[in-house]
Chain A
Amino acid sequence: MTLILIPLLPLLAALLSLLPAGKRFAPAVTLAAMLGGLALAGVAASRVLAAQQWVAITGWVELDGLSALVLLLVAFLNVTAALFSWGYMGAHVEPQRLRSYYAHFNLFAFSLLLVPVLAEPALVWIAIEFTAVFSVLLVAFDDTKAALEAAWKYIALMFMGAAIALLGFFILFWAQQKAGGGHYSWNGLSAISPGLPPTLVLSAFLLILVGFGVKVGFVPLHTWLPDAHSQAPAPVCALLSGVKTTNALYVILRLAELLPSDRAAGWMQAVGLTSAGVAAILLLQVRDYKRLFAYSTVEHMGIIFVAAGLGTGGLYGAMLQMLAHSLTKSFCFLAAGAALFVLGTRDIASVRGLLRQSPIAGSALLLAGLAIGGAPPFAVFLSEFSIFRAGLEQAHFLVTGLLVAFVVVAFSGILLHINRIVLGTPLPATTGPGRVHLPRACVLALMVAAVPVLVFGLYQPGPLQTLLRLAASTLTPVSPR
């Protein structure tokens, strides 16, 4: 029951936040629902740790190591995004529009939580589709021409991807019927994976790779990503980049596990390297710091996909990278939101010395840049390092070498831009009203979001390591073919 309750909490909060009941009601209800969701996700994860998996309704609602990890990530990021929204959106949005924002925010959170909880692939398709449908109007929330353009591009590409992936799910079902049927669920498929006709599974995998690759942001299907991320409100970006992309990647990884490993690996390394490489180079020429982080998302999705394609050794690194990227990237977008709040512009060239104008926003952005670039001692450094090690151990020298090069390029690109914004003396034209104070809720959200970014690089609690290992083992093929 608890498992079903997790996505239902934000659904209830979506209804409640439409009530015209004072300015603080909707954000408070939303935050309460997200905190409740996090607590329940924690309970669910601990049960998965104890018993490998938790089956609420066999074949429909199930949780295993991988989905528990994703669920936990979504639940945590929902909390920080809701907290940040309280300060960020409350500051300059009129009450009626604020209610509509929170209604959509909750629906979006609902769909994000739904993806890991469901075990039936066709329903997962619907949940992934919901994450797009419920976030379009959030992307368009600023109601400017640019925001509408971003939203239109976003939904058109999302739906195009979904339509292609849908055929993949039909073919997957066909493959399962051919192999003797049983429950059409992740577990059911995984159990009979050696018997699935490889041609059918490969077709399903490729259709879903293209279809959901749009949602992950694999190059060349990434074009919506920087547009949507430059236009959507910062807390929405934090969820889009932090977990929406991860959710779609999670589904693709589940599919890859069903293939004979030698077949999937080549595709995963090629697609992943292309994304990482192209994004690392595109990073260098951005003019907008929110687009900077958006390209970094494309790069990281590529790295995770390569790592998962490195075989059993790379899977742990991929899981660690998934965790580190989600936590760090959502922190990045919250920091970018704080910077935008202070500066009023996303233009990198017209900003200097953010640290002097707002020490909190400035230091958060600097921390975010260092952490997502992969500087030690942050979590991304640790995960990228373990991926490189796995790559070398498996003798994938070319792949690892390219990956290292791309990571270095991306690191310098990010730091180059962030340094310009944060350090130096403010330009006379943009100093404006002097120091701007961030709303208290924003500061609190930044602090909460920063904790795992800082801590997980130095120390990972035992249960978390176990969960990561469990997640990696979920993706390990049942038996070698």
Chain B
Amino acid sequence: MPSSDVVDWLQNLNALVGGLFLLVSFGLVAIRQVQGCVRLFVALSTLLGLSAFLLSAIDHNWHLAVIGIVDVTTKAVVIPLLIRRALRDEVYTRREITQVLNIPTALLIALLLAIAAFVLARPLLAFGEGPAIAVNLPIGLAGILIGGLTAAVRREAVPLFLGLLAMENSSFFAGIAVAPEMPLIAEVSIAFDVLILVFIVGVLTRTVQERIGTTDVGTLATLSETRPT
């Protein structure tokens, strides 16, 4: 066990990482360029990895270190690479993204969601010992809600999907604190599963682009109770 001073310091550092995680989640709602979205997602994944390393150092839990490594390689390196490969022009050439809501409104809703997350997480915190859960659980929950909001207000395929991936990241952010002993095979397979998912969604998005000439999936809203053609 490291001396309590060091532990305190690491805990504070983890709280800082948590704060940054929440900030980046907000950024993902607000940012206007596709490429910026990808960069913020890389930042989000790196912060998740950092938190895993910090918690691993505090608890002497090598599981979490492995999870941190797997997370950073898949989500901060491979997935952005896949996205950039699959949708080169979409990511690099364009422009400001259209949103369903304007940015101040979206940010305001995100703020309300974050407050709601902290309120909702309170009854659960009674079961946690140590400050790690108190940081990671509410922030993870807030990240899930804000990620959902991001996906809901975006019309472009890449930012929309990054919102969903941010939700998954946030689940993990809470997960590494509440269930650090989770069998490693499960956690690693989850990362693997997300990789396959990104690959498949890449294929789908490219098909959409070829068919319809845009990745503005917000225009895909024709199916309803009308006469089929």
A interface with B by C-beta (< 8 Å): 120, 122-123, 125-126, 129-130, 133, 136-137, 140, 143, 145-146, 148-153, 155-156, 159-160, 162-164, 166-167, 170-171, 173-174, 177-178, 184, 197, 199-200, 203, 226-227, 230-231, 282, 285-288, 291, 345-347, 349-350
- In the bound assembly, the distance between CA atoms of A347 and B222 in angstroms comes to 16
Best-surrounded residue of B140, B171, B193 (most CB of chain A within 10 A): B171
* Further contacts, 6 of them, CB under 8 A, given A155-B200, A166-B168: A133-B197, A140-B204, A148-B208, A167-B140, A174-B127, A288-B225
List 18 contacting pairs A-B, 8 Å CB cutoff, sorted by A: A122-B182, A122-B187, A133-B193, A145-B211, A148-B204, A149-B223, A159-B164, A159-B197, A164-B144, A164-B167, A167-B140, A170-B174, A170-B178, A174-B178, A199-B126, A231-B223, A285-B225, A349-B227
Sorted nearest first, the 5 A-B pairs with minimum C-beta distance are A122-B186, A170-B175, A163-B167, A149-B220, A173-B179
**Cβ-neighbour of B164 out of A151, A153, A160, A285 (below 8 A):** A160
- In the bound assembly, the distance between CA atoms of A34 and B33 in angstroms comes to 47
- In the bound assembly, the distance between CA atoms of A149 and B215 in angstroms comes to 11
Interface contact A184-B183, CB-CB below 8 Å: yes
- In this complex, the interface size class of chain B, counting residues with CB under 8 Å from chain A, is 35 or more
Task: Determine if B160 is an interface residue (Cβ-Cβ < 8 Å).
Answer: yes
Task: Determine if B1 is an interface residue (Cβ-Cβ < 8 Å).
Answer: no
**Cβ-neighbour of B204 out of A120, A122, A152, A178 (below 8 A):** A152
Interface contact B124-A163, CB-CB below 8 Å: no
Task: Determine if B147 is an interface residue (Cβ-Cβ < 8 Å).
Answer: yes
Task: Determine if B105 is an interface residue (Cβ-Cβ < 8 Å).
Answer: no
**Cβ-neighbour of A156 out of B161, B187, B193 (below 8 A):** B161
CB neighbours (8 Å) of A129 from chain B are: 193, 197
Interface contact A137-B151, CB-CB below 8 Å: no
- In the bound assembly, the distance between CA atoms of A56 and B117 in angstroms comes to 41
Interface contact B211-A143, CB-CB below 8 Å: yes
**Cβ-neighbour of B147 out of A151, A163, A203 (below 8 A):** A163
Task: Determine if B27 is an interface residue (Cβ-Cβ < 8 Å).
Answer: no
- In the bound assembly, the distance between CA atoms of A304 and B229 in angstroms comes to 34
- In the bound assembly, the distance between CA atoms of A97 and B123 in angstroms comes to 53
Interface contact B127-A199, CB-CB below 8 Å: yes
Task: Determine if B132 is an interface residue (Cβ-Cβ < 8 Å).
Answer: no
CB neighbours (8 Å) of B123 from chain A are: 199
CB neighbours (8 Å) of A143 from chain B are: 207, 211
CB neighbours (8 Å) of A347 from chain B are: 227-229
Q: Which of B18-42 contact A (CB under 8 A)?
A: none
Task: Determine if B77 is an interface residue (Cβ-Cβ < 8 Å).
Answer: no
Interface contact B127-A170, CB-CB below 8 Å: no
**Cβ-neighbour of B179 out of A177, A231, A282, A349 (below 8 A):** A177
Interface contact A170-B212, CB-CB below 8 Å: no
CB neighbours (8 Å) of A159 from chain B are: 164, 168, 197
B172 to chain A, nearest CB (A): 8
CB neighbours (8 Å) of B227 from chain A are: 287-288, 347, 349-350
- In the bound assembly, the distance between CA atoms of A126 and B197 in angstroms comes to 11
Q: Which of B164-212 contact A (CB under 8 A)?
A: 164, 167-168, 170-172, 174-175, 178-179, 181-183, 185-187, 189-190, 193, 196-197, 200-201, 203-204, 207-208, 211-212
Interface contact B204-A345, CB-CB below 8 Å: no
Task: Determine if B110 is an interface residue (Cβ-Cβ < 8 Å).
Answer: no
Task: Determine if B80 is an interface residue (Cβ-Cβ < 8 Å).
Answer: no
- Beyond A148-B220, A166-B168, is A178–B127 a contact (Cβ under 8 Å)? yes
